[in-house]
Amino acid sequence: MRIAVAGGTGLTGRHVVEIARRRGHDAVPLSRYGGVDLVSGAGLPQALVGADTVIDVSNIGSIKTDVAVSFFAGATRNLLATERKVGVTHHIALSIVGVDAAPEGYYAGKLSQERIIEAGDIPWTIQRATQFHEFAALMFDTAKAGPMHLAPRARTQPIAVREVAEHLVTLAEDGPGGRVRELAGPREESLADMVRSYARAIGHRGWIPEVSLPGALGRAQRNGSLLPQNDPILGRQTFAEWLAALPDG
Ligand SMILES: NC(=O)c1ccc[n+]([C@@H]2O[C@H](COP(=O)([O-])OP(=O)(O)OC[C@H]3O[C@@H](n4cnc5c(N)ncnc54)[C@H](OP(=O)(O)O)[C@@H]3O)[C@@H](O)[C@H]2O)c1
């Protein structure tokens, strides 16, 4: 099967491309680096020729509502319109558990992506997953007050990105499934503890205060709305195992 992977050079996308190829598929990564811009549409028709399935794991690193909505809505509309023209028969998108509990900022973008796919006419699958283990590193790098790192208070059930990528390729092989069972890691963790453990693992010795993030997202993080709800599929690798496997230094 020919699988176009939107965002195929990113954290998730690299695993999806490698796993799909290992399973004998023809996997084509789409990224600006490779000459395809999902938002302007440049290079997209050529890149999708012959594709049976699109797995969308593209991303934008902004928490601003207008930026996130413009990216996810724009990229999804361009993908679906081009898929219709070239005959793609299955669109798969990776979304996040609990996005509707806090439809603001980045999550507003993900929700707009889901709604456009559901309303479209390309047969689809939406896979929601919880935070990846790497989310601890992202929070360590970005949640800061001046030079001080912060540990956001949140309940999460983090999963290995590799396991998410394995599922996405299986979904491509299975065909359109609509909303499929959520994916989550094997156990609930405290995000603040994850950030502090990550910091220690990379040699950071400073104090990292725990903070409550404001707004609907902060509330959803604390009250468990971002935990999986109905009979999720559970991954195997724990956060502690992920941490132990980090390269030294
Ligand atoms: N991180 C988590 O905890 C988590 C949990 C659940 C779901 N997700 C979802 O997983 C998805 C993938 O996240 P990730 O962290 O793996 O992404 P990532 O590492 O940030 O990679 C983003 C990819 O998108 C491409 N891209 C960005 N803008 C583009 C554009 N205009 N045109 C074409 N390609 C573009 C990038 O390549 P170029 O820069 O070369 O264009 C890159 O390949 C996201 O949709 C996210 O919502 C993430």
- Rounded to whole angstroms, the Cα distance separating 53 from 59 reads 18
- CB-CB contact of 113 with 76 (8 Å): yes
pLDDT grade for 166, boundaries at 50, 70 and 90: very high
The per-residue pLDDT for range 80-121, each reduced to its tens digit, is 999 999 999 999 999 999 999 999 999 999 999 999 999 999
- Rounded to whole angstroms, the Cα distance separating 208 from 7 reads 33
The per-residue pLDDT for range 195-234, each reduced to its tens digit, is 999 999 999 999 999 999 988 989 999 999 999 988 999 9
- CB-CB contact of 90 with 172 (8 Å): yes
Residue 60 Cα to ligand 1 midpoint, Å, equals 6
For 2-244, the fitting CATH number among 3.30.2130.10, 3.30.70.360, 3.40.50.720, 1.25.40.80 is: 3.40.50.720
Q: What's residue 74's pLDDT?
A: 98
| Cβ-based burial of 228 (10 A; exposed 0-12, middle 13-18, buried ≥19) | buried
Question: Which mutation among 18, 37, 38, 58 tests ligand 1's pocket best, with the greatest number of atoms within 8 A of CB?
Answer: 58
3-state helix vs strand vs coil in the chain, percent to 5: 40, 20, 40
Residue 14 Cα distances to 88, 97, 99, 221, angstroms: 21, 22, 24, 28
Q: What's residue 108's pLDDT?
A: 97
The per-residue pLDDT for range 11-27, each reduced to its tens digit, is 999 999 999 999 999 99
Count H helices and E strands in the chain, helices first.
9, 14
The per-residue pLDDT for range 109-153, each reduced to its tens digit, is 999 999 999 999 999 999 999 999 999 999 999 999 999 999 999
Mean pLDDT, the chain, integer: 97
Instruction: Give the pocket of ligand 1 (CB within 6 Å).
Output: 7-13, 30-33, 36-39, 57-60, 94, 96, 110, 129, 131-132, 135
